[in-house]
Amino acid sequence: MGKKRSTFLFSVLCFGMAFLYVPMIFLMIYSFNYSKIVAVWGGWSLRWYAELFRSQEVWDALLLSLKIALMNATFATLLGTLAGLALVRFGRFKGRTLFTGMITAPLVMPEVITGLSLLLLFITLGDLIGWPGERGITTITIAHITFSMAYVAVIIQSRLAGMAQDLEEAAMDLGSKPFRVLVDITLPLLAPGMVSGWLLSFTLSLDDLVIASFVSGPGANTLPMLIYSRVRLGLKPDINALATIIIVVVALGVIAAGYLMLRQQKQRERDMQMAATDTVKMTA
Amino acid sequence: MNGPVSGSSGGPVETQDLRSLLSAQLDQLLHRAQSGWRSIVVFVPYIWLFVFFLAPFIIVLKISLAESLIASPPFSPLFEWTEEGVLTFQLIFDNYSYLWEDDLYVKTYLNSIKISSISTILCLILGYPIAYAIVRSTPTTKNILLMMIILPFWTSFLLRVYAWMGLLADQGAVNSFLMWLGITDEPIRMMYSEFAVYVGIVYTYVPFMILPLYANMEKLDITLHEAAADLGARPVTTFLTITLPMTSPGILAGSLLVFIPATGEFVIPDLLGGGNVLMIGRVLYNEFNSNHDWPVAAAVAIVLLFVLVIPMMIYQHVQSRESEG
């Protein structure tokens, strides 16, 4: 019976992983297809990679997307960390319910609603105070910060919630000023959460199509906007090449980050074990 | 030796007074500084979210109650100063009655809910055993599997949808495979159908189902309960009476994380469903970008928000309970 169950689980796992990865593998294989018609195999070739690198449009879009992603990640991490701190460490404060609502809602809000509402805000503000005069990199960045900071806040919140307050309290008891406690103790403990928040914000921004399409103006095409405008009418071999590059870069990054985190975790466990044995020796 | 700053032990009376006075003032100062930076910590993200998240909804609501005009901006003002200097405002519910009277919108809302509900169930059927299998594997395998589930998250959503355009095309990999197997002689038309939309939604959203389920099962130490139940009960009974109820918070969180965004999905119905599949996200996008009917688009958004507000509130409730313990 137990055997039957584990066979079942194993096959579901295999099916699930195949489901997740086979489409991406096919996409990558077809990027090396010589044929102009994506679905028809015409032999191996790097033709579409060469075409991709020659396209100024692609480079411009990539540069714009990277600029937005960098600014977004940095500001979203700052704001999200503050929000996470406020939610976990400050107990009840005035307007907390609204605050919590505004933090969690962007996580599930359909993108079309967020995009439309932000565009209408920018237009209204433009009419009222003359800012933003034209939409583009600034408006896209602001829109991205707004939903990315919610993700960062959730990451920081879960990290803080799992973290004992002992260290902070001890430092306070010993006479540290609250600001020093924040800088010397809370922030270093939060650093890994802030790093994952930064990375997540960076990729969320690079990935966003719908919200950017709403709040962008003429001339400002991000990479997803460019990809979308090309593929909406059918398969494009150079987009397969671009997709392959993106998937490989991301996969290497995620694997490297996962490996580093795993090693750090093992190191920490070893340290704790050593500390424990030392304590035992001392008391013995 | 003198006492601590708070001054409870001996020493000359005057110094003691001076010290306690000083320390009291210092305390007050510190307190003020502390509440100062505390309020900055709350204030900055609060203001940001208020201006860029809440205020926009108020504007959308306002515009949804305005009249379409062929002008810039293409809607009538809500508040107007009459010549006598009286502030008047008019609410026009035309856009909402238009949505109600036009069959297309009602059908599209219902169809979106149908598609996202079925997709949520499919994600659950696929995701549940996967999450369960991950929880039960050895620590090293577990880390690798989790990484494999998270990896697609970090790659482009748009490109993952695009990948299915290649697979489901008439001459695509799936049809070639079916024809090679001899199941069909002619390619089956799969692109631009509801089937393609289901595949796309399940494919892109199943990690959102697996991860909350995994987190929930991991905390519960499910294997132990099952081992105990294995002593007497049949597996099906064990599953229905113990495993399933225990994992219900994970099921709820995962289902909401799939259902809510899938209902308003734009990219998947647009690329895989085309004009054949009615989904409200696509209608909203086109209403705004092609028809330039802002008040109707705003009304579509407000109604969609009303449809989703209850699931969103449940999600927030689940989240806050989760973070509290």
Predicted-complex ipTM score: 0.87
What confidence category does residue B222 fall into, taking pLDDT thresholds of 50, 70 and 90? Answer: low
Q: B245 at the A interface (CB within 8 A)?
A: no
Query: Which segments of A98-247 are extended strands (E)?
Result: none
In chain B, residues 280-319 whose CB comes closer than 8 Å to chain A: 281, 284-285, 288-289, 294, 297-298, 301, 304-305, 308, 312, 315-316, 319
The mean pLDDT value for A11-26 works out to 93
CA distance A146 to chain B (A): 7
Instruction: Give yes or no for residue B9 having a pLDDT over 50.
Output: no
Please name the residue of chain A whose CA is at the shortest distance from the CA of residue B134.
A13
For the stretch B260-297, pLDDT in tens is 999 999 999 999 998 889 999 999 998 888 877 888 88
Average pLDDT value over all residues in chain B = 83
**CB-nearest partner of B165 from A104, A111, A235:** A235
For the ranges A90-104, B208-222, B291-305, the lowest mean pLDDT is seen at: A90-104
**What residues of chain A lie within 8 A of the CB of B41, using their CB?**
82, 85-86, 90
Q: Which pLDDT tens digit goes with each residue over B155-180?
A: 889 999 999 998 998 888 888 888 88
**What token pair was written down for B175?**
């049809």
Q: What is the pLDDT of residue B14?
A: 61
The verdict on A41 touching B (C-beta cutoff 8 Å) is no
Q: Chain B within 8 Å of A187 (Cβ-Cβ)?
A: no
Lowest mean pLDDT among B3-7, B104-108, B294-298, B319-323: B3-7
Q: Return the higher-pLDDT residue of B231 and A270.
A: A270
The confidence score (pLDDT) of residue B4 equals 43
Distance CA A238, CA A90 (A): 51
Tens-digit pLDDT profile for residues B180-217: 888 888 888 889 999 999 999 999 999 999 999 999 88
Is a pLDDT exceeding 70 seen at residue B244?
A: yes
pTM across the whole model: 0.85
Q: What is the pLDDT of residue B76?
A: 64
- Cα nearest neighbour of A159 on chain B: B323
Query: What local confidence, expressed as pLDDT, does residue A19 receive?
Result: 94
Mean pLDDT of A211-231: 92
DSSP structural state of residue B87: E
pLDDT tens-digit series, residues A137-162: 999 999 999 999 999 998 998 888 77
pLDDT digits (tens, 9 = 90+) for A40-61: 788 898 999 999 999 999 999 9
Q: Which residue of A has its CA nearest to B318?
A: A104
Please enumerate in sequence order all residues whose Cβ is within 8 A of that of B309, keeping only pairs 6 or more positions apart, or say none. none
The DSSP-derived string for A48-85 is HHHHHHH-HHHHHHHHHHHHHHHHHHHHHHHHHHHHHH
- Residue B198, chain A, CB below 8 Å: the answer is no
> CA dist A60 to B33, B61, B69, B143, B253, Å?
47, 36, 37, 37, 39
A102 CA: distance to closest CA in chain B (Å):
7
* Percentage, residues of chain B above pLDDT 70: 80
CB contact under 8 A, B52 and A255: no
Q: What is the pLDDT at residue A3? A: 67
pLDDT tens digits, one per residue of A231-280: 987 888 889 999 999 999 988 988 888 888 778 878 877 887 887 777 77
The single-letter DSSP state of residue B102 is: S
Q: Supply B121's token pair.
A: 């169930």
Of the partner residues B60, B127, B166, the one whose CB lies closest to the CB of residue A117: B60
Min Cα–Cα distance to chain A from B6, Å: 12
Q: Which residue has the higher pLDDT, A92 or B5?
A: A92
Question: Is A245 an interface residue toward B (CB < 8 Å)?
Answer: no
For chain B, say whether A90 makes contact (Cβ under 8 Å): yes
| Residue from the list A16, A79, A121 with its beta carbon closest to the beta carbon of B55 | A121
Window 217-236 of A: residues touching B by CB (8 A cutoff) are: 224, 227-228, 231-232, 234-235
More confident residue, B54 or A169: B54
